[in-house]
Chains A and B, each alone.
Chain A
Amino acid sequence: MQNTCESLLTESLSEALETMAFIMVMPPAEEPAAPQEAVQVTMQFTGPKSGTVELMAGKDFLIAMAANVLGVDPGEEEAQAKGVDAFREILNTTCGVLLPKLASSPADVFNVTLPEDESFVGPEHWHKFVSQEGAVVLDADGSPLACRLVIR
C-alpha cells in the first residue's frame, strides 16, 4: 500500500510539474544535498479517503519553477516574488491529479483545504522531512524535491 501511495503521488506530482512548469522529475542518481533554505507546502483532504499531501524543496528551485510557469527569467522580480505561491499551486494541482486516483468512483467527492506553506533555514528540516515514512526524494531538473502522502 505504501509503495502504491508513493508511486501515485510521484506520478501526480510529475504530471503537475511537467504540464505547468515544464520540469521533469526522476529518481535521484545519488542522495542530493539538502537545501539550506527550504519551503514545505501542505494540503489536507477529506472524503472517501482522508489525509495529507506535503512537498518540500529549496527556495532556488521554487524561483526557477515560478519562472518557468510565468515564462520569465529566474532573475526577474516576478519569479523571485512568486516562488512560494507557484509551489502552493503545484501542490494544489498535484492533489487534483492524485485524488481521483485514490477514489473508488468518479462520483466520489473530496474536500481539500487551502495549501499552507512554511519556510525553514538550515538543512535539518529537510533531513527530518525525508526521513519520515513514505517520504520520496526526487530530482527535479537537478534540484532536490521531496514529497509525502499520508492517508489516515
Chain B
Amino acid sequence: MAYKILVVDDSATMRALIKRTLTMSGLEIERLCEAGSGKQALDLLTKESVDLILADINMPEMNGIEMAEQVLANPATCRIPVVVVSTEASQTRIQELKTIGVKGFIHKPFTPEQIRDAVVEILGACHAEHV
C-alpha cells in the first residue's frame, strides 16, 4: 500500500527534512503534501485525502493543537492519524495531545530512523485497525 502523507510545519527546512526522510525511509509513498500552518493544512484537507498527518505545534495562524482538534472533530477527517513532531516535552501537554486523539509524538531533534520507525509503526497500527 502506498501512503499519502501531509507534513505541517512553518519551517520550510523542517518540511523538506521530513519529506526527504520519508522518501528515503523505504515506505511506499504515493504523495507527500505540505502546509505551513494549521489553517493551510485544513484548507488542503478539503481538497486532498491523506493517510497520515505529521504536524508541528508551534506555528503561526493556527497551531498544531488547534489543527489536530479540528481534524479529529470533523467526520470527514477524524480517521486520519495525527502525529505531532515538536520540541514540546511537557508531560502535561503530551497528555493533552493524547486526550484529543493524537496518535503519536516525535520529539525534535529526531534522527531519520526515529521518524521512519514512528511513521511505520503508526501507519501499520492504523492499517491493522481498519482491516
Contacts and interface: CB of A to CB of B under 8 A. Distances in A.
30 contacts: A15-B109, A19-B111, A20-B17, A66-B13, A70-B17, A71-B20, A78-B16, A82-B16, A86-B11, A89-B11, A89-B13, A89-B14, A92-B11, A92-B87, A92-B108, A96-B86, A96-B108, A96-B109, A97-B109, A100-B89, A100-B90, A106-B90, A107-B91, A108-B92, A109-B93, A112-B58, A112-B87, A114-B10, A114-B59, A114-B60
Q: Chain A binding site: helix, strand, loop or mixed by DSSP?
A: helix
Interface of A: 15-16, 19-20, 66, 69-71, 78, 82, 85-86, 88-89, 92-93, 95-97, 99-100, 103, 106-110, 112, 114
Interface residues of B, number: 24
B90 A109 contact: yes
Contacts of A112: 58, 87
B3 interface: no
A70 B58 contact: no
